[in-house]
Amino acid sequence: MKIQLALDRLTIEQAVAVTRPVSPYIDWIEVGTSLIKEFGMDSVRALRNAYPDHVIVADMKTFDNAVYEFEMCFSAGADIATVMGAAPLVTIEACMNTAAKAGKKVMIDLLHTSEEQLEALQMYSDAIFCLHVSKDQQEMQGSTQGTEGFYVPPSLSGEGRKLAFAGGITVDMAQALTRIYPHVMIIGSAITKAKDPAAAAKTFYQLKKE
């Protein structure tokens, strides 16, 4: 299980700084969509250079222009890039091919993806599928990932499927999630906005060992 630190609504300098004390306890560093749209690929380059030994995830949320966008963030140093599951299949296919050529990985963000589309996506066995409760769903509807059952669509429940979970994940939720033991647990403000981010990250880190 990997812990992915999501960096959002920060300047590049803040993002680099908040990551420093928590870096021993996390595996992957996500350059959030808000950083990418505010600062462009400078944000990816900065995190890449500051943390050369971590996996860098560029949360591109690609919906079109797949080859251009994926090559752009891979050149900037990303190891993994995200595409929206709700995008046209031709775009997702192009993301998969572009990543494969570059020796990189794709995370498919399933936010607001239909069941029908999900059926079509399950053939991408190399992709990481991210079950995502969005910021707006959290902040405006009070939705979060649960602390009880986590819904995994039947089309994604097969053996060997790489799943990621994102959306306001707290320590309690993470504890429940370890029962599923997903490939990736994406943590944002539970670390970045903690009084003691290093201590918070360490708590998540220790969950991996239980």
Within positions 160 to 199, which residues make up the interface with a second copy, using CB under 8 A?
none
Shorter beta-carbon distance to a second copy: residue 25 or 190: 190
Which residues, at least 6 apart from 83, have a Cβ–Cβ distance to it below 8 Å? 60, 61, 62, 63, 66, 91, 92, 95, 106, 107, 108, 109
Long-range contacts of 130-139 (CB under 8 A, 24+ apart): 130/82, 130/163, 130/164, 130/165, 130/166, 130/184, 130/186, 131/156, 131/163, 131/164, 131/165, 131/166, 132/165, 132/166, 132/167, 133/166, 133/167, 133/168, 134/167, 135/8, 137/167, 138/167, 138/168
Shorter beta-carbon distance to a second copy: residue 37 or 158: 37
Q: For a second copy, which residue of 14, 65, 157, 206 counts as binding (CB under 8 A)?
A: 65
Q: For a second copy, which residue of 66, 108, 127, 185 counts as binding (CB under 8 A)?
A: 66
Q: For a second copy, which residue of 84, 127, 163, 200 counts as binding (CB under 8 A)?
A: 84
Helices (H), 76-160: 89-102, 115-121, 135-141
Shorter beta-carbon distance to a second copy: residue 25 or 36: 36
Within positions 99 to 138, which residues make up the interface with a second copy, using CB under 8 A?
111-112, 114, 134-137
Residue 88 near a second copy by CB under 8 A? yes
Shorter beta-carbon distance to a second copy: residue 64 or 172: 64
Shorter beta-carbon distance to a second copy: residue 42 or 196: 42
Which residues, at least 6 apart from 169, have a Cβ–Cβ distance to it below 8 Å? 144, 145, 177, 185, 186, 187, 188, 190
**At its nearest, how many Å lie between a second copy and the CB of residue 204?**
22
Q: Mark 25-64 with x for binding to a second copy (rule: CB under 8 A) and - for no binding.
A: --------xx-xxxxxxxx----------------xx-xx
Closest by CA to 2, choosing from 144, 205, 175, is 205
Residue 158 near a second copy by CB under 8 A? no
Binding region for a second copy (CB under 8 A): 8-9, 33-34, 36-43, 60-61, 63-66, 68-69, 72-73, 84, 86-88, 90-91, 93-94, 111-112, 114, 134-137, 140-141
